Amino acid sequence: MPLSLSRPDLLRTQNFINARWCEGRDGRTLPVSDPALDVTIASVPDSGAADARAAVDAAYAAGPAWRAVPAKQRAQILKRWNALILAHQEDLGRLISREQGKPLAEGRGEVAYAASYVEWFAEEAVRAYGDIIPAPVSGRRMMVLKEPVGVVAAITPWNFPAAMIARKIAPALAAGCTVVAKPAEDTPLTSLALARLAEEAGVPAGVLNIVVASRERAAEVVDVWLADGRVRKITFTGSTPVGKHLARESAGTLKKLSLELGGNAPFIVFDDADLDKAVDGLMAAKFRNGGQTCVSPNRIFVHQLVHDAFVEKLAARVGALKVGPATDPGSQIGPMINERAVQKIERHVRDAIAKGAHAVVGGERHQLGGNYFAPTVLIDVDATMACSCEETFGPVVAINRFSDEMEVIAAANDTPFGLAAYFFSGDVKRIWRLAEALQTGIVGINEGALAAEAAPFGGIKESGYGREGSRYGLDDYMQTKYLCQTL
Ligand code: ADP
């Protein structure tokens, strides 16, 4: 099916550097495919080091003028960008769904979610207050200024092609930083469309630059940014191994870092929980984007007293999920992003079953073939199975039984990761005990849908550091300068 947009110029297939749309310097290209059909829908530059350098040159040159623009004016540009994103919600939603595979309703929802960060940081831009500190000695004045860090390099994953880039670019521009960005190789079209709208909103030349590269050349582009002392911050969402690599390599120029890495979220259902709410919460948290989100519950722990009742309710809901392409308005679960992703899910399910788990629903690739995997519920899962140790990143619910609160807290925390955790309980004292004992940056309490622009999103342990969204989110793009004056 051809990709038709009401504004065809939103389908951009070139890099965006210094306000110019351009091919890669060495002319190499990269196909973008629709994961539902495995057909090529566009061809974009497969950029290299020279393009990466040109982007930094542009961002660095644009820095002084952009940080000198009054915050109110920067906020107005961001507000226009927000309005344009919302005005083109349908086209952007279609682009997201076609290149990433999520159902169209979710694609539209992601556009609104991405825009909410742009609006939020437009509003925060004018509130980057400093301080006047009471001086400990007489004859002195002590002040604190918040300043933009400088050029920011943003590297994003494929699972939320609009939201991931918006929630990095919006705070950076709000703070007065300029940006070089590399979207994921699977989903570059949405970020290029957003750049087109940013241009239209009045973002000046060089302030936002997008460089597209294949997985093979990602390191070539990003290595230039890592080595360049003019780049003062790396903001990354993606896997923990790549995040660690970025942390190591940016040490040479001691850049500021925000790393939003993988998770292995526990989801705990106690015997005092409202089971219907717990099932609703799990459905919302687990099956958004087909389970391909970093806050997806990955290890489900259900108290033995409610285990069978919970599994029965859940199995009915999961068994009824409609699987199909993004273009089918009834689809609730789209294709996985690529064959590599399906292979990982299949490996996890087979490993679990070989070690004693049972599939109550699904358990194999979906009959549609291609990149589809059947929504699955596994029971009798334990900590030795691959699905308990790594993120499955697919529509698989892996259920463990437990009987004791201390035991389940220990199991939930028994992972190097610490992004999100969820639990359902009706006991107020237990709620506080759990909220404080769980080692994660985000805790859902009787709630499965947590992300919001007003909230600080981010992890601890090997899930990374830094926060996106909320009033804390702007700080990650600013540095603190202390002024001391003798009168
Ligand atoms: P995923 O497994 O979800 O694709 P990755 O961490 O591999 O997560 O990818 C997230 C982003 O990091 C993508 O934009 C990808 O191109 C980029 N990336 C992958 N490998 C490297 C690397 N060695 N250096 C820099 N960026 C990389």
Q: Which of 66, 299, 68 lies closest to 177, judged by CA?
A: 66
Query: Residue 288 C-alpha to ligand 1 middle, in angstroms?
Result: 22
Query: Hunting for tokens 């789209």 — which residue is that?
Result: 334
Q: Whose CA is nearest to atom 18 of ligand 1?
A: 218
Kindly give the parts of the chain with pLDDT less than 70: 1
Instruction: Identify the helix (H) or strand (E) that includes residue 245.
Output: helix 240-249
For the chain, report the end-to-end CA distance as a whole number of angstroms.
72
Which protein residue has the closest C-alpha to ligand 1 atom 9? 238
Per-residue burial over 102-135, b if 16 or more Cβ lie within 10 Å, else e, is bbbebbbbbbebbbbbbbbbbbbbeebeeeeeee
Taking CA atoms only, the protein residue closest to ligand 1 atom 7 is: 239
Q: Is the CB of 324 under 6 A from ligand 1?
A: no
What's the pLDDT at 38? 78
To test the pocket of ligand 1, the residue of 156, 242, 246, 338 to mutate (highest count of ligand atoms within 8 Å of its CB) is: 242
Q: What is the pLDDT of residue 214?
A: 98
Q: Is the CB of 333 under 6 A from ligand 1?
A: no
Q: Is the reported ipTM for this assembly greater than 0.95?
A: yes
In angstroms, what is the span from residue 239 Cα to ligand 1's centroid?
A: 7
Task: Answer yes or no: are the C-beta atoms of 78 and 63 closer than 8 Å.
Answer: no
pLDDT at residue 428, as a whole number:
97
Q: Which of 99, 155, 164, 186 to mutate to test the pocket of ligand 1 (most atoms within 8 A of CB)?
A: 155
> CA angle, 7 as apex, 164 and 293 as ends, to 5°?
20
**Which residue is listed with tokens 């007065």?**
176
Centre of ligand 1 from the C-alpha of residue 273, in Å: 39
Q: Does 155 contact ligand 1 (Cβ within 6 A)?
A: yes
- Our answer on whether the CB atom of 222 is closer than 6 Å to any ligand 1 atom is yes
Q: Please name the residue that has the structure tokens 């990955």.
A: 298
- 231 within 8 A of 253, measured Cβ to Cβ: yes
Ligand 1 mean position, distance from CA 463 (Å): 15
Is the Cβ atom of 298 under 6 angstroms away from ligand 1? no
Query: Closest Cα to atom 13, ligand 1: which residue?
Result: 184
Task: List phi, psi (to 5°) of 88.
Answer: -110, 30
Separation of 223 CA from ligand 1 center, angstroms?
A: 12
Report the nearest-CA residue for atom 23 of ligand 1: 219
**Per-residue pLDDT tens for 277-332?**
999 999 999 999 999 999 999 999 999 999 999 999 999 999 999 999 988 989 99
**Nearest in space to 259 (alpha carbons), one of 469, 459, 478:** 459
Structure tokens that stand for 17 in this block: 């550097």
The answer, yes or no, to whether any atom of ligand 1 lies below 6 A from the CB of 247, is no
Cite the active site residues: 260
Closest CA to 100 of 453, 371, 465: 371
Residue 3: predicted pLDDT? 82
Structure tokens at 446: 């009787």
- For the CA of 239, the nearest atom of ligand 1: 6
User: Which SS3 state, helix, strand or coil, does residue 359 take?
Assistant: strand
184 Cβ closer than 6 Å to some ligand 1 atom? yes
Nearest residue to 438 via CA among 425, 463, 419: 419
Cα 7 to ligand 1 centroid, rounded to whole Å: 30
C-beta separation of 208 from 173 below 8 A:
yes
How far is residue 117's CA from residue 206's CA, in Å, rounded to a whole number? 21
How is 110-170 classified by DSSP, letter by letter? HHHHHHHHHHHHHHHHTT---EEEPPSSTTEEEEEEEEE-SEEEEE--SSSTTHHHHHHHH
Looking at residue 140, its pLDDT comes to 97
- Asked if residue 166 has its Cβ within 6 Å of ligand 1, the reply is no
Residue 226's CB: how many other CB atoms inside 10 A? 21
Residue 207: CB within 6 Å of ligand 1? no
Side by side, the strands of the sheet bearing 442-445 are: 358-361, 376-379, 396-402, 297-303, 265-269, 420-424, 442-445
Atom of ligand 1 nearest to the CA of 185: 16
Atom 15 of ligand 1, residue of closest alpha carbon:
184
What pLDDT does residue 382 have? 98
Q: How far is the CA of 238 from the centre of ligand 1 (A)?
A: 6
Ligand 1, atom 2: closest residue by C-alpha:
239
CA-nearest of 380, 367, 231 to 301 is 380
